[in-house]
Every structure is written in structure tokens, then in C-alpha cells.
Structure 1
Amino acid sequence: MFGFSIYLNQPLTNSKQVYIEQMAAQGFQGIFTSLQIPEENSNEYKTYLTSLGSVAQANHLDLMVDISLESLSKAGFSLTNLEQVKAVGVTGLRIDGGIDNQKIAELSQTIRVGLNASTITEEDVRELQNYQADFNKIEAWHNYYPRPETGISAEFFSQKNAWLKQLGLKTVAFVPGDENLRQPLFEGLPTLEDHRRVTPLAGALDLFQMQTDSVYIGDEGLSQRAREQFLMYQEEQKILLFAEEVQSGYEQWVIRSHVNRKDVARDVFRSEQARLWGIKHIKAENCVKRVRGSITMDNQNYGRYLGELQIAKRDLAADKKVNVIGKICHDDLPLLQHLNSAQEIEIRKNKKRIEE
């Protein structure tokens, strides 16, 4: 499952509402927001949350709200009146502090509860069990980290998720957006430090490989380009890549769908259907070093491999039998590690280059 974030620092503008509607239409299923961001004005939280909840309900979206006991009270809500909270469209509470396990267990009987994945302990789990918490409504939500160099490591994340999975808990984590990065640092909101500058879909696929059930966009913005990548992956399980510098005469073979061979090569993506195109002649040209992301086609010097189309997953030496005919744009290079057995991809021209 994919979700995204909307914050309560201002009234719900028309542009934000349109963004929410677009994200819902493109397969995103949940919104995350917070009542405890110090640089924002909590005086208007109740009004803003009510507006956000209304739009979430209209678009059939879950709404998870990050709270502490103090921040919830400041916003004019109370844990003793959950019906009031649920009435504005809130479907879950992510508990960050100030609420004991007995109360959390009680909350889980009537609303989805997100616990801090980084701080939950075995003792917490035993207490929740003793208080008869409904573990079907409890999830483990990792933090995001606005400050560079403070995001957690992939090793720690994997270890933590493995333990949470043993407990039967669903896990949720964040990747940064690529537009409208959140103030005041504007450095992205990833769970893993490795993802701070990574294309959002690549970060999300990394998290799924590490036993993450749901991935949310931490920042408020996803570019149209990124949304197209998420939409294609959700609807068709295809990975959308953007290419640039495709040489004239080769576009018909590059800008299209491809399927990776089932026997995955270590060094390259091999288009399964390329040699079925019946290409009769390709002269040797631009036989240069194949840097990571290079799109190549085997020329007439390669005999029966003539016409095979590949994408280099690592830097490779020049080969007089292989023409370099284009390259995957830099932002999409992290997606190459997810080109697994029989993975279908679609290559399009790089949007940024087209717009320029």
C-alpha cells in the first residue's frame, strides 16, 4: 500500500485538494498528518484537520494522525471521546508519546493505532497483550528524519522489521517526495538516510524488499513524473524508466515496453523480445564505455546476438560488438537494481528534457 502526507500548516487550499484527489485517483490509499510539528501554529489544527478529514472521506482515504497527549489536547480533541476524533475523518492515531500501554490497548479496540517502530520493546508488547490490545488494529510506524545524516541505516531498519514481523505487526515507513519539500530544512523526509536523494519509487521498492507493508511519501509533493511511475507500478507492476540521448534511428526499439529475461544477468537488463524483432543489420558505431544506465544494442559483429537490447546495471568496458544508443536518466538509476526476473519495464523520453 502507498500513502502520502499533508500537513496542517495552512488552510486546505484548492491546489492541495486537487493534489489529494489526484493521488487518490492514482491508487494512493492513505494520508498521514501530524498534530505536533513545532514550527506550525496549533491554534488552527482543529479547523484544518476537520477540513482534511472531510476531503479524505470524500476520496475514500485513510487518515493517520501523529499525536501526543498534549498535542491532541491543544487541538481540541480528547482520547476520552474517540467518536469526536473519528467523526472528522480520522481513521488512525500514531502514538508518539505521553500515552501508556493500557490506554493504547483500549484505543486499539475502536481505532487503528500506530506505534513508534523504533522505540517499541518486548516489554511493551507483553503489556499490550496483558491489557488485551487488538493487534489486528496495531501497526508499527517508523519515523521520518528531516535533518540530514540522522535517518536510520538499512541494517538497523531490516533488523527492526524482522523482529516486528515476528510479532505479527504491519510495518510502515517513509520515503521523501521530490516536490514541495517540507520546511524549514527542505531536505526531504525519509526513514532511511540512504533514501534522502533517491527517486521516490526506488526508495519505496527498497522498503518493500525489507519487509515493509506500507510506504508513505513523507513530503507533501510528488512530481507528475514520479506519480506516473507509482501509477504504472501499482496498476501493472511495471517499472517506468525515462531515457535521454537516444540516438536517431534507434528510438523505435528503445521507447517502448520491454521484459527482462527470466535468467537475470548480473551486469545487464536483457530485453527478452529484442532478438525477435528480426533486425537484419546494425553497423558498429559509438562502441564506447558502457557506464551504468547505458542503453545498448549489439551490432553485426556479435553474430546471432545482433539486435539484443540491454541496459547496463554497472559500469562496463567498451566493446566493439556493442553500440551505446542512449542512457537511462540519472534520477532513475536506483531503479535498475529492481529489474528482477521477468520484470516488465516501459522506457519513455525523459520528461525534463522534453519540457526544456
Structure 2
Amino acid sequence: MFGFSIFMNQPLSNEKKSYIEKMKTIGFTGIFTSLHIPEDDAATYYSRLIELGTEAKKNNLNLMIDISGDALSKAGFSIDRLDELKHIGVTALRMDYHIPNDTIAKCSHHMTVGLNASTITQHDIDDLIKYKANFKHLEAWHNYYPRPETGLDKTWYLEKNQWLKENGFTIQGFVPGDDDLRGPLYEGLPTLEEHRYIHPLASALDLANQLTDYIYIGDGGLSEVTQSQFKEFLQNDTLTLHVNTIDEEFSFLFLGQHHNRQDEARDVVRSANARFKQIPDIPPKKNLPRLKGSVTLDNHAYLRYMGELQITKADLPKDDKVNVVAHVIKKDIPLIDHIKAGMSYELRKDDDNE
């Protein structure tokens, strides 16, 4: 399941409402927001949360609110009046520090509760059992980390998730956005530090490989191009890679839809259908070093392999039998590692460099 964040530092504009609607049509199923961001004016949260809840209900989206301590009461709500929150569209509470386990257990009988996945211990689980929590309504939600160098280590994250899975939890993590980055640092909001400046979809697919069930965009927005890439993946199971072309003459052979071969190669993504097209003679040219992300066509010196299309997954040396015809743009290169056996992908000309 994929979700996104909407923050309440500003009134919910028509632009944001349109963004919520679009993210729903793309295939996102949940909204995350927070009631305890120090830079925000908590006095504005009451009306803004009602407005956000209305939009969530209208679009049939889950709404998770991050709270800690007295955040709810400062915003004009109460942990003792959960029906009021449910009425305005809130479906879950992520309970952070200063909320005791007996309160968490009580709330779990009325709505979904997200626990802090990074800090939950066996003692907490024992406590929740003692207080008769409804574990069917408990989830493990990791933090995002605004300050560079403080995001989680991937090995630690996977080990923690393995322990959480053994204890029956579904797990959530954040990846950065690439538009409307959250202040005051504007450095992305990832759970894993290595994702801080990486393509949001590539980061999301990587989190999915680390036992993560729910993946949310931490920042307040995705660019239109990235929204389109999420849409193609969620609706068509296709990864879209934007390329800068080097050899326009043969662009009709490499631009468009492809499938990775079922026998997945170590060094390259091989188009399963490239050599089944009508292929003209391809003379040797542009025999360049094949840096990661190079799109290549085998020329006639490769005999019956002429016309084979590949994307390099690692840096490879130049080969007189292989023409470099395009390069995947830098931002999209991390997506290459997620083109698995038999998977559909599309090579699309990068409009920004036309």
C-alpha cells in the first residue's frame, strides 16, 4: 500500500485538494499528517484537520495522524473522544513518545494505532498484552528523518523489521518526495538515510524489499513526472525511464515499451522483444564506454545479435560491436535496479532536454 503526506502548516488550497484527488486516482490509499511539528502553529490545527479529514473521506483515503503527549488537546481534540476524530475522517493515530501503553491499548479497541517501529521493545509488547490491546489494530510505523545523516541504516532497519514481523506487525516506512519538500531544512523526509536524494519510486521499491508493507511519501509532494511514473507502476506494473538520446536514427528501435527477459542477466537489462522487430542494418558507431544507464544496440559486427537492446546495470567497457544510443537520465538510474525478470519498462525521451 502506498500513501502520501499532507501537512497543515498552511490552509488546504485548491491545488492541494486537486493533488489529493490525483494521488487517489493514481492508486495511493492513505494520507499521513502530523500534529506535533514545532514550526507550525498548533492553534490552526483544529479547522485544518477537519478540512483534511473531509477531503480524505471524500476520496475514500485512510488518514493517519502523528501525535505525541498533549498534541491532540492543543489542537482542540481529545484522546478520550476518538469518535469525534473518526467522524471527521481520521482512521488511525500514530502514537509517539509520552503516551503510555495502557492508553495505547485502550485506543486500539476503537481505531488503528501506529506504534513507533524504531523504538518499540519486547517490554512494550508485554505491556500491551497485559493491558489487553487489540493487536489486529496495531501497526509499526517508522519515523522520517529531516536532518541529513540521521536516517536509519538499512541493515538495522531490515533486522528490526524481521523482529517486528515475528511479532505479527505490519510495517510502514517513509521515502522522500521530490516536490514541496518539508521545511525548515528541505532535505527530504526518508526513513533510510541512503534514500535521502534518491528517486521516490526507486526508494519505495527498495523499502518494499525490506519487509515494508505501507510506504508513504514523507514530503508534501511529488513532481508531475514522478506522479506519472508511480501511476505507470501501480496501474500497469511498468517502470518508466527517461532517456537522453544519442543516436536519433535508431530511436524507433529503443523508445517505447519493452519487457526484461525472464532469464535476468547480471550486468544488463535485456529487452525480450527487441530482436523480433524488423531491424535495418546497424553499422558500428558511438562505440562508447557503457556507463551504468547506457542504452545500447548491438551492431552488425555482433552477427545474429544485431538489434539486441540492453540497458547497462553497471559500468562496462566500450565494445566495437555495441552502439551506445541513449543514456537514462541521472535521476532515473536507481530505477534500473528494480527491473526484475519479465518486468515491463518503457524508455521515454526526456522532455526537459528536447
What TM-score comes out, normalization by structure 1 length?
Answer: 0.98
Give the equivalent residue in structure 2 for 1:155.
155
Identity in percent: 49
Q: 1:68 aligned to 2:73?
A: no
Q: How many angstroms does 1:119 deviate by? A: 0.5
Unaligned segments of structure 2, at least 5 residues: none
Give the equivalent residue in structure 2 for 1:178.
178
Deviations 1:290-312 (A, max 9, x none): 01100000000001111000001
Q: Distance in 2 between matches of 1:246 and 1:287?
A: 11
Q: How many angstroms does 1:159 deviate by? A: 0.6
Q: How many angstroms does 1:137 deviate by? A: 1.0
Q: Distance in 2 between matches of 1:280 and 1:319?
A: 20
Give the equivalent residue in structure 2 for 1:102.
102
Give the equivalent residue in structure 1 for 2:42.
42
Query: Match for 1:11: what amino acid?
Result: P
- Contact kept, 8 Å, 1:189 with 1:219, in 2: the verdict is yes
Q: Secondary structure at the residue paired with 1:49? A: helix
Give the equivalent residue in structure 2 for 1:89.
89
Give the equivalent residue in structure 1 for 2:217.
217
Q: Secondary structure at the residue paired with 1:249? A: helix
Q: 1:80 aligned to 2:86?
A: no
Query: Match for 1:81: what amino acid?
Result: R
Query: Match for 1:118: what amino acid?
Result: S
Give the equivalent residue in structure 2 for 1:7.
7
The structure 1 segments of at least 4 consecutive aligned residues displaced by more than 6 Å after TM superposition are: none
Aligned length: 354
Give the equivalent residue in structure 1 for 2:296.
296
Q: Secondary structure at the residue paired with 2:93? A: strand
- Contact kept, 8 Å, 1:199 with 1:332, in 2: the verdict is yes
Q: Distance in 2 between matches of 1:225 and 1:168?
A: 37
Unaligned segments of structure 1, at least 5 residues: none
Q: Distance in 2 between matches of 1:339 and 1:22?
A: 26
Q: How many angstroms does 1:280 deviate by? A: 4.2
Query: Match for 1:250: what amino acid?
Result: F
Q: How many angstroms does 1:91 deviate by? A: 0.4
Deviations 1:164-218 (A, max 9, x none): 1111100000001001111110100000110010000000000000010011000
Deviations 1:11-59 (A, max 9, x none): 1111111111111111111000000000000011111100000011001
Higher mean C-alpha displacement, 292-301 vs 125-134:
125-134
Q: Distance in 1 between matches of 2:279 and 2:244?
A: 23
Q: How many angstroms does 1:246 deviate by? A: 4.1
- Contact kept, 8 Å, 1:93 with 1:112, in 2: the verdict is yes
Give the equivalent residue in structure 1 for 2:129.
129
Give the equivalent residue in structure 2 for 1:310.
310
Q: Secondary structure at the residue paired with 2:70? A: helix
Deviations 1:249-270 (A, max 9, x none): 2111111111111111110000
Q: Secondary structure at the residue paired with 1:55? A: helix
Q: Secondary structure at the residue paired with 2:311? A: strand
Q: 1:247 aligned to 2:259?
A: no
Q: How many angstroms does 1:97 deviate by? A: 1.6
Deviations 1:99-140 (A, max 9, x none): 111111111111000000010001111111222211111110
Give the equivalent residue in structure 2 for 1:142.
142
Q: Secondary structure at the residue paired with 1:275? A: helix
Q: Secondary structure at the residue paired with 2:128? A: helix
- Contact kept, 8 Å, 1:225 with 1:351, in 2: the verdict is no
Query: Match for 1:41: what amino acid?
Result: D
Q: Secondary structure at the residue paired with 2:136? A: helix
Q: Distance in 2 between matches of 1:196 and 1:176?
A: 6
- Contact kept, 8 Å, 2:245 with 2:251, in 1: the verdict is no
Q: Secondary structure at the residue paired with 1:250? A: helix
Q: Distance in 1 between matches of 2:307 and 2:323?
A: 10
Pairwise CA RMSD of aligned residues? Answer: 0.9
Q: Secondary structure at the residue paired with 1:230? A: helix
Query: Match for 2:334: what amino acid?
Result: P
Q: Secondary structure at the residue paired with 1:185? A: coil
Give the equivalent residue in structure 2 for 1:342.
342
Q: Distance in 1 between matches of 2:26 and 2:343?
A: 21
Give the equivalent residue in structure 1 for 2:273.
273
Q: Secondary structure at the residue paired with 2:248? A: coil
Q: How many angstroms does 1:64 deviate by? A: 0.2
Q: How many angstroms does 1:275 deviate by? A: 1.0
Give the equivalent residue in structure 2 for 1:205.
205
Q: Secondary structure at the residue paired with 2:168? A: coil
Query: Match for 1:209: what amino acid?
Result: N
Q: Distance in 1 between matches of 2:260 and 2:18?
A: 36
Q: How many angstroms does 1:86 deviate by? A: 1.0
Query: Match for 2:153: what amino acid?
Result: S
